[in-house]
Structure formats: structure tokens, C-alpha cells
């Protein structure tokens, strides 16, 4: 079963995936700079997705059962 965060993409060099029409700002800095910036900007999101997937997988592999939230709220008097 493929998880929502698991994507299979062919390995493509970054220079082939960046459009050459991105504008004049590429002239000031290297593409590597912008790749590093993008990675740093989105690394937290990627780590969070990985963690969420790990938690879901651990839950699915455990013997713990679930119950409806309404039942829990009723038990807690909410």
C-alpha cells in the first residue's frame, strides 16, 4: 500500500526541472543557491510528513483498537 506522502519519481537532475524562463534574478545567484533555499524552506514540512507517516504506520501495525470520537467525548462528559 502506498502512503499519501510516498511518491515515486524518476531521478531527474535539478537543472532539467527548473524552467530557463524564471527571470533575471537567476543571473545574480546560482541555481544551487535557490535549490538550497527551497530545501531549507520546505524541510520542516517534509519532516512533518515523514513523522506523520511513521506514526500512522506504527498505529496500523499495533494491536490497539479505535473508537468513535463521540463515544470518547461522552465518556469525558463533553
Q: What is the pLDDT of residues 12-39, one digit of tens each?
A: 555 555 566 655 555 677 888 888 888 8
Query: What number of helices (H) and strands (E) belong to the chain?
Result: 3, 0
Q: CA 35 to CA 24: how far, in whole Å?
A: 16
Contacts of residue 34, Cβ cutoff 8 Å, sequence gap at least 6: 18, 26
- pTM of the complete model: 0.40
* Region at 77 (left for phi over 0; alpha for psi -120 to 50; beta for the rest): left
Q: For position 2, what pLDDT does the model report?
A: 47
Task: Report whether 3 contacts 53 (CB < 8 A).
Answer: yes
Q: What residue segments make up the domains of the chain, in order of their start?
A: 14-76
Q: What are the pLDDT digits (tens) for 51-65?
A: 999 998 998 899 888
CA angle in degrees (0–180, nearest 5) for 32-37-54 = 110
Amino acid at each position: 500500500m502506498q502512503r499519501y506522502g510516498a511518491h515515486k519519481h524518476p531521478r531527474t537532475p535539478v537543472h532539467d526541472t527548473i524552467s530557463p524562463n524564471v527571470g533575471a534574478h537567476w543571473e545574480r545567484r546560482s541555481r544551487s543557491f535557490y535549490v538550497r533555499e527551497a530545501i531549507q524552506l520546505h524541510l520542516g514540512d517534509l519532516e512533518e510528513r515523514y513523522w506523520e507517516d511513521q506514526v500512522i504506520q506504527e498505529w496500523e501495525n499495533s494491536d490497539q483498537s479505535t473508537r468513535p470520537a463521540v463515544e470518547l467525548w461522552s465518556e469525558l462528559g463533553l
